[in-house]
Amino acid sequence: MSSLKRLFLLALVALVVLVPAIGCKEITTSLIVTVDTKGLDVDQLEYSGFDADAGLFGPSVRPEVAAGPIPSVSLVRVRLPDSLDGVTVDVLVRGLREGVVVGEGRGRQVVKKGAEKSVSVDLGNTSGGCDGCTGCCSNGVCLTPGAAACGVNGAACAICDLLTTNECGADGRCSCAGGPPCTAAIGADRCATDGGGCLCGNGPACEPGVECLRGLCQCTAASCPSGCCMGGRCLPGDTSMSCGTGGRACLDCLGSACNAGSCAAAACNASNCAGCCSGSGCQNGTDNSACGVGAMGCLSCGLGSCDAGACVDTCSPGTCPSGCCLAGQCVLGTDPLACGSGGVACNQCSTGSTCVGQACTNPCDATNCPTGCCQSGVCRGGNSNTACGTGGVTCEACGLGTCRMKACVAPVCDATNCAGCCDGTGTCQLGTSPSSCGLGGGSCATCASGSCQDGGCAATTCDSTTCPTGCCANGVCMPGTASTSCGVGGGTCVSCGSGTCDAGACGAPPCSASCQGCCEGTTCQARGPSTCGPNGSTCIACDPLKADTCSASGTCVCGTGSQPCGFGLHCVSGMCKCDNVTCAGCCASNGACQMGTAKNACGADAGACANCTGALQCNQSTRVCN
């Protein structure tokens, strides 16, 4: 974007960019931005807009002065100059509470001159991170899937190309009307804005054997390698009326035989044609759609041109530096079915692999996720009860247990969680079976009498002879290990109140009842980075890359903050920093870690993000402007 255009936009935006959308009668070139806070407690909204080159407006805050919580749904009109007709605008909205960002969301729309276009933005909570996220993850924020932020199960958000797609599918991939993107791979170059599916130019997608080039369906050597072209269609090329191969124009054999794509006697031949042949006619052979010499079948040069009877400058490193070549056409190179860059032939990624940075990448495994676990192909931290593990294994849900040191630990079986009895493996049993008899979370007993009544082994008389290892309650031999019926040697069972029963004797209350830190087994531990948790809860270890402190409420935080460091940030000496330990992309001026593949945020190894100006693009592989 030129400096003059940029200054013009800033001046315009400073005057009229954001006005309330309610009650405005005048229709101008503008966006109507609808923001749903999704229940977040915010008192201001910050609006920004971007195109492929630079910022278009903002950041602007509304209301300018906070005056308490704002409504759950807010609308503003963003007035734009008519010169932006056809430009795709990415809208970023941040929710603020007392000046601190607590939520974020994105939307996308194409500007239309003289019209109001709607943009919907849902805010995602920035405090929860992306563990357990069912949508997509953007800088540590879980966002609702949409064309501006596409992905599921916590995968990195992708921005859909509104030329070739119009929605985010249920599988987290950008799609057109529920189908694949409208690319050369399926004979199309755009997605209908009315939801009608893929198009080539203004017409329907091309049939098999024909490719979409410059908005037209063309039969070329790349699309019809084993047949011949006639009337824009690819034919088998094995009849006297339509004979040929290699995607050249079909020839008329004048009734003679067609053998392996060659006429025994063609109407157009070397004796009457110095150019190229199509059907029974001779063409001069210099046109891009009919190129050739020596009475060969004419060729369509596709994206190339005809030079002295030969097609030149088709898809190549020189004509397709930022994409890859598929059937002679330059495509983006970001689809698993057509992945690559530098103008080389596109690769089709193997099953289970994805195309990341225009290169086929293996799914999450021990190589690229050595300290975490894999959930739906995404590397997780491995410290969550819903995603626990390390070494690149599949994440485990701990259920009633907890994730401790990146491993699920079964819950301790005791009176707090078991009304029956606990067997030798620590599993809670009903306590009504003769082979596992007991109640109140005590140890299960095996009844010699073969009868378990009310959690105790029945006996004719209960005394030291018939109940040597337990205690007696109403004439029934109890295991004597429960806090509600504790005893040994056939004595009368007693209740230990809030205490515990140990070897038939009442003891002090368990750790959870009085611990002002967290519990490791029956031991109460002081809070710290390796022993963190609310009062009386099971201790967990904080991720040392994200947090170095356990707060007074028992949560892992970095320094004096209220949460662990976000996406790509490293907790160093109590501060969240963007460095090459955790950020593989680049560091923005505000200290945030970016993916490093965007035009306005390009870079790698935690270097400063660069803005690729003018015609420069961010190389998806090297993350360098070129």
pLDDT in tens, 165-178: 888 888 888 888 88
**Do 396 and 351 share a structural domain?**
no
Q: Kindly compute the dihedral angle of the four CA atoms of residues 284, 286, 288, 290, in this order, to the nearest 10 degrees.
A: 30
Residue 334: inside a domain? yes
Give the domain-ending residue among 82, 109, 126: 126
Asked if residue 7 has pLDDT above 60, the reply is no
Whether residue 108 sits in one domain with residue 26? yes
Our count of domains for the chain comes to 4
Q: What is the average pLDDT across 467-482?
A: 85
Inter-CA distances, 95 with 121, 274, 608, Å: 11, 71, 26
Give the amino acid at 144.
T
* Tens digit of each residue's pLDDT (9 = 90 or more) over 41-86: 889 998 888 775 456 787 788 888 888 889 888 889 888 888 888 8
User: Can you tell me the distance from the alpha carbon of 15 to that of 159, in angstroms, rounded to the nearest whole number?
Assistant: 30
Instruction: Name which of 507, 516, 457 is nearest 483 in CA terms.
Output: 507
**250 part of a folded domain:** no
**pLDDT of residue 597 exceeding 70:** yes
User: Given 126, 155, 172, which residue is the final one in a domain?
Assistant: 126
Secondary structure, 3-state, 370-433? CCCEEECCEEECCEECCEECCCCCECECCCCCEEECCEEECCCCCCCCCCCEECCCCCEECCEE
Residue 510, pLDDT score: 66
- Asked if 346 and 400 sit in the same domain, the reply is no
Taking the C-alpha atoms of residue 456 and residue 437, their distance in angstroms, rounded to an integer, is 6
Same-domain check for residues 28 and 100 = yes
- pLDDT above 60 (res 140): yes
Closest CA to 415 of 470, 497, 504, 472: 497
- Residue 500 has a CB neighbour count (10 Å cut-off) of 22
C-alpha–C-alpha distance, residues 275 and 262, integer Å:
17
Integer Cα distance of 598 and 625 in angstroms: 10
Better pLDDT: 147 or 170:
170
Q: Can you give the CATH number for the domain in which 21 is found? A: 2.60.40
- Residue 313's pLDDT band (boundaries 50, 70, 90)? low
Rounded Cα–Cα distance for residues 171 and 151 (Å): 7
- The CA distances from residue 379 to 388, 389, 606, in Å, are 11, 10, 19
For 511-521, write each residue's pLDDT tens digit. 766 788 888 87
Longest dimension (CA), the chain: 122
Top-confidence residue, 292 or 98: 292
Q: Name the residue range of residue 380's domain.
A: 373-409
Residues 46 and 83 both lie in one domain:
yes
- pLDDT for the residue 2: 32
385-440 pLDDT per residue, tens: 778 889 988 888 887 677 778 888 777 777 777 888 888 877 888 888 888 888 88
Query: What does the pLDDT read at residue 250?
Result: 95
**Does 46 fall in a domain?**
yes
| pLDDT score for 21 | 47
Phi, psi of 289 (to 5 degrees): -90, -10
Q: Are 11 and 104 in a shared domain? A: yes
Domain boundary among the residues 106, 126, 146 is at 126
Residue 563 domain-assigned (yes or no): no
Residue-by-residue DSSP string for 307-345? ETTEEES-SSTTT-TTSEEETTEEE-SEETTEE--TTSB
Q: Are residues 468 and 395 in the same domain?
A: no
350 in the same domain as 443: no
pLDDT of amino acid 239: 93
d(CA 48, CA 61): 9
Which pLDDT value is given to residue 429? 87
Statement to judge: residues 352 and 395 lie in one domain:
no
Q: Is 584 a member of any domain?
A: no
**Does 518 fall in a domain?**
no
Say what the pLDDT of residue 6 is. 28
Percent of the chain with pLDDT over 90: 12
Say which residues have a Cβ less than 8 Å from residue 532's Cβ, sequence separation at least 6: 518, 539, 540, 541, 542, 550, 554, 555, 556
How large is the average pLDDT for residues 535-564?
A: 87
Q: Are residues 440 and 357 in the same domain?
A: no
pLDDT top residue among 250 and 430: 250
Instruction: Answer yes or no: do 112 and 9 share one domain.
Output: yes
| Closest by Cα among 94, 109, 102, 16 to 61 | 94
pLDDT of residue 14: 30
Q: What integer best gives the mean pLDDT of the chain?
A: 81
Whether 31 and 98 share a structural domain: yes
Cα–Cα distance measured from residue 556 to residue 101, given in angstroms and rounded to the nearest whole number: 20
- At 10 the pLDDT is 29
Q: Is residue 521 part of a domain?
A: no
Question: With contact defined as beta carbons under 8 Å apart, do 437 and 454 qualify?
Answer: no
- Convert 499-549 into a string of H (helix), E (strand) and C (coil): CEEECCEEECCCHHHHCCCEEECCEEECCECCEECCCCCECECCCCCCCCE
